[in-house]
Amino acid sequence: MKKIHFTDRYLLNPRHPVTVFVIGAGGTGSQVITNLARMSMALQALGHPGLHVTVFDPDTVSQTNIGRQLFSETELGLNKAVSLVTRINRFFGYAWTAEPQCFPTRNFSDNSTANIIITCTDNIRSRLTLWKFLKKVRKENFSDHSVPIYWMDFGNSQTKGQVIIGTVREKVLQPSSQEYIPMPKMNVITEEVDYAKIKEKESGPSCSLAEALEKQDLFINSTLAHIGCDILWRMFKEGKTLYRGAYVNLDTLKMTAIPV
């Protein structure tokens, strides 16, 4: 029998829009946020309260970002999180929020988290800091808008990348099944990768779009964003997933699914 993860039942029928933190509004984050806006609209059409998203990013839009990321000339100099959220709120009529700062914030507390946390940053230190906090709340036995349940992480090089979703909680209650093997736990990225063995390099800002494309090609971010958001969409729509992520190689046009 195949392994499967059934979505935390609280998120399938909550009393409020499911809260989502997106950390990083650059190449991948700008695509993910746009996908989440469409997903929220689709969920509402199915009778679900939808999503409430908060975006964190301290950076401003530069000329380098135009073209590879979802920003325009009119947004040059504006904060990325504020620019994206303002645009989406006007387009869809939402009241999502933007935080022009890093996450975790200086005033980080147990009450300042969300049900789903999505990291779209290349910063290893921020992932480790986040995980240091999330481990403390793994044993929470209640659910509300501020309790983290899932963590989805995106990462990529120029033409390759991966997306992985894991359970912040040690166990997500699973129903019995005659067809599958229900898995109450999925590893998060920091349980998959030994970051202590990875030396982080500071790449610095790119001076042009051409230089930026040497670091991350044009469609690697959007490809990963669509795959990750499709996993989330199915977890909401079908209440289950057979896959907790995928590896993508645009050089060979190959995608390898990561089973639960």
Q: What is the DSSP string of 197-238?
A: G---------SSHHHHHHHS-TTHHHHHHHHHHHHHHHHHHT
Rounded to whole angstroms, how far apart are CA atoms 27 and 33?
Answer: 11
> Which alpha helices (DSSP H) does the chain contain, by range?
9-12, 27-45, 80-92, 124-134, 189-192, 209-215, 220-237
Domains and CATH numbers, the chain: 2-259 (3.40.50.720)
Other CB atoms closer than 10 Å to residue 24's CB: what's the count? 27
What would the DSSP string read from start to end of 134-160? HGGGTT-----TT---EEEEEEE-SSE
pLDDT in tens, 121-172: 888 888 888 898 888 888 777 788 889 999 999 999 889 999 999 999 989 9
Q: Please report the sign of the dihedral spanned by the C-alpha atoms of residue 196, residue 115, residue 133, residue 28.
A: positive
Q: What is the pLDDT of residues 197-243, one digit of tens each?
A: 666 555 445 556 666 667 788 899 999 999 999 999 999 999 999 99
DSSP state of 73: G
